[in-house]
Amino acid sequence: MGATDPDDFLNALGKNKNGEGHGDILIWKRKAEKYLVDSGLQYTIIHPGGLKNSPGGEMNLHLDVDDKLKANKIRTISRCDVARLGVAALSQSNGKSTSFDCVNAEIPEGSRRKSADTSLREFMASEMMYDYSDMDEIVEDYSI
């Protein structure tokens, strides 16, 4: 997550103290995603929140787009749960391409935990799509 914000702290990694030099990892990552989206190939792009080394399958998965999950109380996700989403994408995509952000979420009281398959299937049914339309203005200064 964080690719919609050029000022995200991850973009500062690799830059000099004055802000010049290499860096902008999320901007370059987003530019590569845009190339994939425009290629016509089928894809699933997963943008996890902060990765945790904890057992997966203990919390729900919250999927959304365009960094909206950065406003959540929980902005992290188990590496295991990200892997489960990747496997779910193999069986749940049904030939559709998708791109999404993901974090763990509390299980509402009285509810059962949703599987990665169910979470991804419900997200894909919503037909929400990551918005890459702003890429031209974000990356105009970044050419390969």
Domain boundaries, the chain: 9-131
The encoded tokens of residue 128 equal 């929400």
CA 25/CA 63 separation, integer angstroms: 22
Overall pTM surpassing 0.85 (yes/no): no
Per-residue pLDDT of the chain (144 residues; tens, 9 = 90+): 767 777 777 777 777 777 677 777 787 888 888 889 999 999 999 999 999 999 888 999 999 998 899 889 999 999 999 999 999 999 988 889 999 999 999 999 999 999 999 999 999 999 898 887 766 665 555 554
Q: What angle do CA 125, 130, 135 make, to 5 degrees?
A: 160
The encoded tokens of residue 74 equal 């929980």
pLDDT at 136: 61
CA 70/CA 121 separation, integer angstroms: 22
CATH number for the region 9-131 comes to: 3.40.50.720
The encoded tokens of residue 79 equal 């590496």
